[in-house]
Chain A
Amino acid sequence: DVKVTQSSRYLVKRTGEKVFLECVQDMDHENMFWYRQDPGLGLRLIYFSYDVKMKEKGDIPEGYSVSREKKERFSLILESASTNQTSMYLCASNTGSGNTIYFGEGSWLTVV
């Protein structure tokens, strides 16, 4: 089974703090993704990466950056957290030729 692991399930951070969300997959997938889920808005793509050190902006990249130094690890960075970044963050991965993407369990971030 594909395993996508998000290290932090629940975080509470203060406005202006730098936040790191870490994601690791164990299936040697080329592609990795960060989505956020908000009520009524569904899942929106923040960034994705198709190879080590490669990244592309998704639909809502403002206020976020990413890092992919190793194939199995994809980090989402909030340089200066704001209250409108309070959300559930979902990491996902798939192969270069895959049709389905596989999600981690999600990280609930609250910014106060």
Chain B
Amino acid sequence: DQQVKQNSPSLSVQEGRISILNCDYTNSMFDYFLWYKKYPAEGPTFLISISSIKDKNEDGRFTVFLNKSAKHLSLHIVPSQPGDSAVYFCAARFQGAQKLVFGQGTRLTINP
């Protein structure tokens, strides 16, 4: 049972525009959410996170929004750059736990 879902396997965006990546979760016991970015043949790198007590967190071009009632979070990248082309994974952590549950990933392609 996939507790964290990224329903879009891929997304293509023009350079300079906004990229919006979506993630849904099913378990209300998740208390912390993260986004990781992964280039081919490399390990995932941490991008941005948000606690369940917040609804928005911003870091430069990256903003994560959390809608707890809808069990939905999204990552906004503005403006999108060619170096943003990668696979993005959404992850969630259970309260009191250390392990993360990951979504399937969304491949983002930024077109010049």
Residues of A29-46 at the interface with B, using a CB-CB cut-off of 8 Å, are: 31, 33, 35, 40-45
The size of the chain A interface, using a CB distance under 8 A, is: 27
Asked if B44 contacts A43 (CB within 8 A), the reply is: yes
Partner of A106, one of B9, B43, B100, B102: B43
The answer to whether B42 and A106 have CB atoms under 8 Å apart is yes
- Residues on B with beta carbons closer than 8 Å to the beta carbon of A98: 98
Nearest-neighbor residue (CB-CB) of B91 within chain A: A43
Q: Is the contact region of chain B dominated by helix, strand, or loop, or is it mixed? A: strand
Count of residues in B whose CB is under 8 Å from the partner chain = 24
Contact flags B22-52 to A (C-beta < 8 A → 1, else 0): 0000000000101010000111111001000
A99 vs B32: C-alpha distance when bound (angstroms): 8
Whether a CB of chain B sits under 8 angstroms from the CB of A64 is: no
User: B45 to A103, Cβ gap below 8 A?
Assistant: yes
| Contacts from B to A (Cβ < 8 Å) | 4, 6, 9, 32, 34, 36, 41-46, 49, 89, 91, 93, 98-105
